[in-house]
Structure 1
Amino acid sequence: MHLFNLTMIYLTAIIICTFLLIMDVPIVVVFTLLFMYVFTLTMFPYYNASLWSNNISKIDRFVTKHKTKPIFAYPYAVAHETVTEQKISVQKILSSYKQQDTQHNYRSLLAILNKDFETALAEAKQLQKEPIRSYTIAHIETLLGNFDTAKALIPNLKKEWMPHSIEGLIAYEQQDFRTFEKEAHAAITKARGLQKHLLFYSFKEMKVSFEAK
């Protein structure tokens, strides 16, 4: 958000807060309203696009607007750029976020983009948090052709979109287009925010490659 816009938001908040206090509105109410006002105009758009939105077009517009930020650069690259540019965007995330699980997650993703699946699997197995650990491992096992191993991890995938995503990827690798379409659609439907955006454009690319065969 531009500095001018932020300045106007906070200036307006101060004016409203002052007016409410003059009107003897209880201070708890004033600060509650102030928080809701500032959150709605500053943080809500980020949380909505990242976690809650079900509108792919709106998410994509938000991602495009904020593509210079590392966390949005990768979704933008998946939707609109080449694999080379996707790798660059992942490197930006690795340079910006040093949390252990984030590092293992995106090192694994970078290895997948480089088609170095053994390295990707080694990084995924160092993830601590579930269900992302099981999901990432299942994803890579599928790419390695270990479909039974991937399917054995599906009970660990507690987010509704995850089992469908893995089943869709398995169907893609097995050239089962009908199942792929069904599972991809289910995964996209159940996901929200950036995850929905990533699934939509990833499966879209896979569908194009299916149709080209």
Structure 2
Amino acid sequence: MRYIIAFLISLVAFFVLDYFDINNILMIGLMFIIILIIILAPPILYTTLLQTDEDKLERFLLKNKKNPHFYIIYALANELDEEVNDITEALLHKYKQASRQATYSVVRALYFKNLQEAKVHVNQIKPLKYKLYYQSIILIEEDDLDGAEILIEQMKTNWMRYALLAEIEQKRNHLSNARNYAHQARSKSRGLQRYILHKTYEREFGF
């Protein structure tokens, strides 16, 4: 389908170029690059951002084991402790941007239940929704459930809210509510995040 779309876009693009008598090499080159992106990019973008089939997501992650950005997702989801640590070290060594470093450090710290380490880095995370998400996890792990709920009220991303509420209900031993929130979190998630939630809830709730 994407090739048909690219072909149709090509026809329209070249019609426009011909109609307006555009023969500037830069404009033609830009048009070619846009068409190439349309042909090549969607499969990866769709899989990482929109795919909901967990088996296809797993095959994608295993196929891309050599890419640390993808394999870290597989390692986290499947609780591969050594791989999580090694891949995080590789990412920290490769990317020096403060916000990225903070995110990698916080994810690893929370995975290994090192709350003090997570608290050192969490405020350096730039995207607000991720900062609030990880701050909420820290509060939940510290049993400050009321404080976590205050942060959750500020979140607009549905899967994040439901995932955190599932954690809170688990802490309160309200397992039926936790399962319901977990179901909602998974149903609202897409792409690689869907895979992590699926594997997590498969272990915790059996679905």
Tell me, yes or no, if the aligned pair for 1:104 and 1:126 is still in contact at 8 Å: yes
Structure 1 residue aligned with 2:3:
none
Q: Which whole-Å CA distance do the structure 2 matches of 1:117 and 1:32 have between them? A: 48
1:51 to 49, 52, 61: 49
1:109 and 1:160, CA in 2 relative to 1: closer, same or farther beyond 3 A? same
Q: Which whole-Å CA distance do the structure 1 matches of 2:95 and 2:51 have between them? A: 24
Q: Which whole-Å CA distance do the structure 1 matches of 2:57 and 2:170 have between them? A: 26
Q: Which whole-Å CA distance do the structure 1 matches of 2:31 and 2:77 have between them? A: 38
Residue 76 of structure 1: how far off its partner (Å)? 1.3
Structure 1 residue aligned with 2:171:
173
List per-residue Cα deviations over 1:137-190 (Å, max 9, x = no partner): 001111111111111101221112111010011122233221121111111111
1:152 and 1:36, CA in 2 relative to 1: closer, same or farther beyond 3 A? same
Structure 1 residue aligned with 2:192:
194
Q: Secondary structure at the match of 1:137?
A: helix
1:151 to 149, 159, 164: 149
Q: Which amino acid aligns with 2:76?
A: V
Residue 95 of structure 1: how far off its partner (Å)? 2.3
Q: Which whole-Å CA distance do the structure 2 matches of 1:158 and 1:63 have between them? A: 28
Structure 2 residue aligned with 1:65:
63
Q: Which whole-Å CA distance do the structure 2 matches of 1:95 and 1:173 have between them? A: 35
Residue 37 of structure 1: how far off its partner (Å)? 4.8
Structure 1 residue aligned with 2:183:
185
Tell me, yes or no, if the aligned pair for 2:163 and 2:181 is still in contact at 8 Å: yes
Task: Output the aligned Cα RMSD.
Answer: 3.1
User: Aligned residue pairs: how many?
Assistant: 193
List per-residue Cα deviations over 1:98-133 (Å, max 9, x = no partner): 222111111111111232112212311222321111
Structure 2 residue aligned with 1:78:
76
Q: Secondary structure at the match of 1:153?
A: helix
Q: Structure 1: any 5+ residue segments left out of the alignment?
A: 1-12, 209-213
1:41 and 1:103, CA in 2 relative to 1: closer, same or farther beyond 3 A? same
Q: Which whole-Å CA distance do the structure 2 matches of 1:46 and 1:95 have between them? A: 25
Q: Which whole-Å CA distance do the structure 2 matches of 1:87 and 1:207 have between them? A: 26
Percent of residue pairs identical? 24
Q: Which amino acid aligns with 1:75?
A: I
Tell me, yes or no, if the aligned pair for 1:171 and 1:179 is still in contact at 8 Å: yes
Q: Which amino acid aligns with 2:145?
A: F
Structure 2 residue aligned with 1:92:
90
Structure 2 residue aligned with 1:119:
117
Q: Secondary structure at the match of 1:195?
A: helix
Q: Which whole-Å CA distance do the structure 2 matches of 1:64 and 1:54 have between them? A: 16
Q: Which amino acid aligns with 1:85?
A: E
Q: Which whole-Å CA distance do the structure 2 matches of 1:100 and 1:186 have between them? A: 33
Q: Which whole-Å CA distance do the structure 1 matches of 2:85 and 2:202 have between them? A: 19
Residue 73 of structure 1: how far off its partner (Å)? 1.2
1:206 and 1:125, CA in 2 relative to 1: closer, same or farther beyond 3 A? farther
1:160 aligns with 2:149: no
TM-score, normalized by length of structure 2? 0.79
Q: Which amino acid aligns with 2:172?
A: Q
Q: Which whole-Å CA distance do the structure 2 matches of 1:92 and 1:42 have between them? A: 27
List per-residue Cα deviations over 1:18-47 (Å, max 9, x = no partner): xx79xx798699768744652244222221
Q: Which amino acid aligns with 2:204?
A: M
